[in-house]
C-alpha cells in the first residue's frame, strides 16, 4: 500500500501551499477536503455553516475524509477543525502519516485577516478567536506524527523538512 500524507493544522498555516508542493515533489495527488465538501454540497463552507451549522458541516467533513482516505498516494489537506473528531483522527492514523502545520496566532491572523470566507472568524476579535480555537485544538494537533511550525519558514523549507521525515517513514 502506498503512503498517504495527511496535513492538519489551523487555517492559514500553509496546508494548501505546502500540500500542493509536496504532492508535486512526491508524485502524489493533492486533495483538499474543504474543496471536496463544497463540491459535494454545491455551496461554500461559509454557506454550509450559516444554513446548516457546524455539526452538519463536521458530519459531511467526516464522510468526505473517510471516502478520500480509501485512496492511496495522496497528499490530503484537511480543514482546521477536522482533528476534533475521533473518527477523523483514527482514519488519519490508519491511512497515512499525519503532519500538523502550526504557526503563531499573530502570524495566522496576518496571513488571513483579509479573507472573508472564514466563518469561524467572523467575530469582533478574530485574533482572540484564533487564540481560543488554537488552545482548544492543540491537544488534537499534537497527536500528529510530525508537527512543523511554519511561522518563520518558507514553503520550500517546510517541504524539505517534511520530505526528509516522510522518506524515513516510508523508505
Please give the grid coordinates belonging to residue 77.
489537506
- The domain spans of the chain are 5-170
- In this predicted structure, what is the pLDDT of residue 69? 97
Total Cβ atoms within 10 A of residue 23: 19
Distance CA 43, CA 25 (A): 31
Crossing angle between the packed helical segments 155-170 and 15-26, to the nearest 10 degrees: 50
Give the homologous superfamily in CATH for domain 5-170.
P-loop containing nucleotide triphosphate hydrolases (3.40.50.300)
Provide the whole-model pTM: 0.92
pLDDT at 168 over 90: no
81 versus 116: the higher-pLDDT residue is 81
H helix count then E strand count, the chain: 8, 5
Nearest to 88 by CA among 6, 12, 32: 6
pLDDT digits (tens, 9 = 90+) for 32-45: 999 999 999 999 99
* Averaged pLDDT, 100-105: 97
Amino acid at each position: 500500500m502506498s503512503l498517504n500524507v495527511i496535513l492538519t493544522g489551523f487555517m492559514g498555516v500553509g496546508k494548501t501551499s505546502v500540500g500542493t508542493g509536496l504532492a508535486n515533489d512526491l508524485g502524489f495527488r493533492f486533495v483538499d477536503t474543504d474543496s471536496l465538501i463544497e463540491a459535494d454540497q454545491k455551496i461554500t463552507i461559509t454557506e454550509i455553516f450559516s444554513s446548516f451549522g457546524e455539526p452538519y458541516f463536521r458530519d459531511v467533513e467526516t464522510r468526505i475524509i473517510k471516502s478520500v482516505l480509501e485512496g492511496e498516494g495522496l497528499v490530503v489537506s484537511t480543514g482546521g477543525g477536522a482533528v476534533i473528531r475521533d473518527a477523523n483522527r483514527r482514519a488519519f492514523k490508519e491511512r497515512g502519516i499525519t503532519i500538523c502545520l502550526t504557526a503563531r496566532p499573530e502570524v495566522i491572523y496576518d496571513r488571513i485577516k483579509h479573507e472573508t470566507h472564514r466563518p469561524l472568524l467572523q467575530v469582533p476579535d478574530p485574533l482572540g478567536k484564533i487564540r481560543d480555537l488554537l488552545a482548544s485544538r492543540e491537544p488534537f494537533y499534537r497527536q500528529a506524527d510530525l508537527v512543523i511550525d511554519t511561522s518563520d519558514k518558507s514553503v520550500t523549507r517546510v517541504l524539505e523538512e517534511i520530505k526528509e521525515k516522510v522518506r524515513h517513514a516510508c523508505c
